[in-house]
């Protein structure tokens, strides 16, 4: 059977300055714009419209030469059967609901602007907020007139916070994209529930994104409203900005473990040297309220309760 194997990856390195609680940190760090990775993937044509595929992809950090020591292929490890019916995918990978967040976060949940920096697990200790182990996923076929979606079950195998069900449905036509995702994960005899609704419209002079995420765990609740924009300023350069407002309910506010009130602002600029190589700079700032202590990515210093955390980076990313 005809087949192909592709080696691929990303190296993203950034010089970053962060500050929290009066202390600043200077780092050569990673993943300011895209997550660094190394991967191998392939597709085999089985005939009759059927295909088999595999995907192995793991994280790496070029500043120290490390890979993920516990999960070398931790970003995705899967085998798929694809056909007119869509795709059935087995292994480890992103949950369907996270894909909604990725799609409507201007910074695709990466770097200083990663919107999930102000998302709260509400003390649930779940392990499915981004990727999940033991995932059985079904993706709708791509020819449904703009409708797309996927649904997944993660086998918990008796480990707390790993058993989940989720799905997303979306509609993409021309410059419009809207989608919603919902996921529920078992934890401590309760359920952690994530609802994410997103939409974007590309007006050409500006592409606008909006995202609402509601997180619940028992009586605890957090809402995160996000609005973002991407403005092409030259043929190769674009300016981005995003603002999020996160607020937990009174029950969650009362405990330092679960409090999650914050405002989060990010602005960035990316200059493409080619389709595969870009220079970028990003600045972000989190202002916590109450007992919340969110901080921007790779800020080694904890924010004070109700305090601030901010960062600025300049980096380069290269895909292969």
| Residues near a copy of itself (CB under 8 A) | 1, 3, 5, 7, 9, 11-13, 15, 25-28, 38, 40, 42, 44, 46-47, 50, 52-54, 56, 58, 60-67, 69-79, 81, 90-92, 131, 133-136, 155, 157-158, 273-277, 300, 316-318, 320
Q: Closest distance between a copy of itself and the C-beta of residue 106, in Å?
A: 23
CB nearer to a copy of itself: give 38 or 139. 38
DSSP per residue over the chain, as a string?
--EEEEEEEEEEEEEEEEEETTEEEEEEEE-SSS--EEEEEEEEEEETTEEEEEEEEEEEETTTTEE-SS-TT-SEEEEEEEETTEEEEEEEEE-HHHHHHHHHSTTTT-GGG-GGGG---TT---S-SSEEEEEEEEE--S-BTTEEEEEEEE--TT-TT--EEEEEEEEEETTEEEEEEEEEEEETTEEEEEEEEEEEEE-SS-EEEEEEEEEEETTEEEEEEEEEEEEE-SSSEEEEEEEEEEEE-HHHHTSTTT--EEEEEEEEEEEESSSSEEEEEEEEEEEEETT-----TT--SPPPTT-EEEEEEEEEEEE-
Q: Using the minimum distance from each CB to a copy of itself, give the nearer residue, 22 or 47.
A: 47
Q: How near is the Cβ of 314 to a copy of itself at its closest, in Å?
A: 11
Q: Of the two residues 56 and 195, which places its CB atom closer to a copy of itself in the complex?
A: 56
- Give the nearest distance from C-beta 157 to a copy of itself in angstroms: 5
Tell me the closest approach of the beta carbon of residue 227 to a copy of itself, in angstroms.
Answer: 32
Confirm if 319 and 28 have CB atoms less than 8 A apart.
Answer: no
> Is the dihedral angle over the CA atoms 102, 106, 111, 113 positive or is it negative?
negative
Smallest separation, CB 308 to a copy of itself (Å): 21
Q: What minimum distance in Å lies between the beta carbon of 185 and a copy of itself?
A: 16
80 or 244: whose CB is closer to a copy of itself? 80
Q: Select 89 or 207, whichever has its Cβ closest to a copy of itself.
A: 89
Q: Judged by CB, which is closer to a copy of itself: 172, or 318?
A: 318
Nearer to a copy of itself, 21 or 249 (CB): 21
- Here the tokens at position 75 are 């970003």
Which of 34/194 has CB closer to a copy of itself? 34
Phi-psi region of 90 (alpha: psi -120 to 50; beta: other; left: phi over 0): beta
Q: Residue 209 CB, nearest distance to a copy of itself (Å)?
A: 28
Minimum distance from residue 33 beta carbon to a copy of itself (Å) = 12
């Amino acid at each position: 059977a005809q087949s192909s194997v592709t080696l691929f990856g990303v190296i993203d390195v950034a010089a970053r300055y962060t500050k929290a609680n009066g202390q600043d940190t200077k780092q050569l760090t990673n993943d300011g714009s895209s997550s660094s990775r190394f991967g191998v993937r392939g597709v085999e044509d089985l005939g009759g419209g059927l295909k088999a595929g595999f995907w192995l992809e793991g994280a790496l950090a070029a500043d120290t030469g490390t890979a993920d020591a516990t999960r070398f292929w931790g970003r995705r490890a899967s085998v798929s059967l694809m056909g007119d019916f869509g795709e059935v995918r087995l292994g480890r990978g992103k949950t369907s609901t996270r894909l909604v967040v990725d799609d409507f976060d201007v910074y695709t949940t990466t770097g200083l602007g990663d919107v999930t920096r102000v998302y709260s697990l509400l003390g649930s200790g779940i392990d499915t907020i981004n990727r999940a182990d033991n995932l059985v996923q079904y993706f709708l076929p791509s020819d449904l007139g703009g409708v797309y979606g996927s649904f997944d079950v993660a086998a918990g195998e008796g480990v707390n916070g790993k058993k989940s069900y989720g799905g997303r449905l979306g509609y993409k036509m021309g410059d419009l994209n809207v989608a919603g995702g919902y996921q529920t994960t078992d934890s401590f005899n309760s359920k952690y529930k994530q609802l994410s609704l997103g939409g974007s419209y590309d007006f050409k002079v500006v592409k606008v994104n909006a995202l609402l995420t509601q997180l619940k765990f028992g009586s605890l609740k957090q809402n995160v409203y996000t609005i973002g924009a991407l403005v092409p300023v030259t043929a190769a350069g674009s300016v981005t900005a995003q603002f999020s407002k996160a607020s937990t309910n009174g029950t969650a506010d009362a405990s330092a473990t679960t409090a999650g009130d914050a405002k989060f602002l990010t602005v960035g600029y990316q200059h493409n040297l080619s389709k595969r190589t870009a220079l970028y700079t990003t600045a972000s700032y989190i202002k916590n309220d109450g007992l919340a202590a969110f901080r921007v990515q790779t800020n080694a210093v904890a924010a004070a309760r109700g305090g601030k955390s901010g960062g600025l980076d300049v980096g380069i990313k290269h895909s292969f």
